[in-house]
Amino acid sequence: MDCKLRAKNCGGCPMLATEYAAQLKKKEADVRALLVKYGPVSPIRGMETPYHYRNKVISTFAPAACGKLTSGIYAARTHKVLPVESCLLQDEVLDKVMLAVRAAANACRYQPFNEDKGTGLLRHCLLRRGVATGQVMVVLVTAQPVLTGAKNFVKALLAEAEKRGVPVTTVVQNYNPRRTSVVLGEDEKVLYGKGFILDTLCGKTYALSPRSFYQVNPVQTAVLYGLAVDAAHLTGKEVVLDAYCGIGTIGLTASDKARQVVGVEVNRDAVRDAIGNAKHNGVKNARFFAADATAWIREAADAGQKADVIFMDPPREGSTPAFLESVARMAPKRIVYVSCNPETMARDLALLTQKGYRAEGFTPVDMFPHSAHCEVVGSLVRVK
């Protein structure tokens, strides 16, 4: 499959012209080159249908002809917006919802924000879809605190969505006045619905707010988390630490097979979501703390606290030496490392192996077909 946006320097699918089997082969080879010295690398887990997998879309508004507005993504290495009608990576329902948002915004005569002049209203639109539930969230990011005619916009959006046969479950205005590339600001106002949507993953239901971190490929996320929980070899007796826990997805997935789950995450909004998700799912053996993972585990290790299994899912820059030192002092029997960057994972493994851990193996998971990114699940066991 090909896309006309690729010829316009889209940059969203740098590997689209490469056969999918060849993409998988390259990613597996790259992971093997980095990690095989620590342990065996299993065949990569790819997608049966590697298209339209993204359940989250961020679109930037830009001027169009005749005083109208359009929306799309930035061309690679530029600040020029390429209008997008449909995308091979995005959920097809969200493509249609975005067209409905544009139509409603034009009906209300809203203008796109001009960064150079500081004029205009609409900056971005963030869309989320709960693939299991079908629920859709629309987040309109504005440069001004007041969305004039908000009720008319919601009414027009619902009508345009119905015309296209797609749902809109909730609409949120997010106010972001800062000169920044960060999409969302701190202030939000619910314009329609409850301000969140629900989705189901690995048997648990999650409430997703505009700022919730939630993996964008639900099919492969189920594969990733399934591998992670299997790698933990839980028997129901273990105390599990879920470091960098986000909204609690890995810890709650493991909760049925563990005695106790403790989650740690620096983002307070995510921790609030994690606590709510535990209550919503009736999970009584999970606790979540808002703290820097490195500082928290250092204090826990100093206090003599123990964990049998530690799940760690750090950001792209990987973990920190201080965190890994504290993990080693806590001396869990197993560490399950979920990585979105095999290069920093390899760096962290060098330290963990020095601290008495041996890697049992790694499984790459293709979370982002047609891009160069690859996730990896690694299992380590304590040997001394």
Q: Hey, which residues are catalytic here? A: 340
Q: What are phi and psi of 360, to 5 degrees?
A: -80, -30
Unique residue bearing structure tokens 């959006």: 157
Residues 6 or more apart in contact with residue 378 via CB below 8 angstroms: 35, 38, 39, 231, 336, 337, 338, 339, 345, 349, 359, 361, 362
Contact 121, 142 (CB under 8 A): yes
Comparing CA positions, the residue from 103, 99, 88 lying closest to residue 47 is 88
- Cα gap 48→120, rounded to integer Å: 43
Angstrom CA distances, 44 to 29, 136, 233, 361, stand at 9, 31, 21, 12
Print the SS3 string covering 37-74: CCCCECCCECCCCCCCCECEEEEEEEECHHHCEEEEEE
Binding residues for S-adenosyl-L-methionine: 215, 244, 265, 313
Give, as one character, the DSSP assignment of residue 36: T
Angstrom CA distances, 190 to 59, 120, 183, 270, 346, stand at 19, 21, 17, 18, 43
H helix intervals, the chain: 20-35, 92-107, 150-164, 218-232, 249-254, 268-280, 293-302, 321-330, 342-354
Give, as one character, the DSSP assignment of residue 78: S
CA angle (215, 55, 341) in 5-degree steps: 30
Binding residues: 215, 244, 265, 313
- How many helices (H) and strands (E) the chain has is answered by 9, 16
Residues 6 or more apart in contact with residue 44 via CB below 8 angstroms: 24, 27, 28, 31, 363, 364, 365, 366, 374
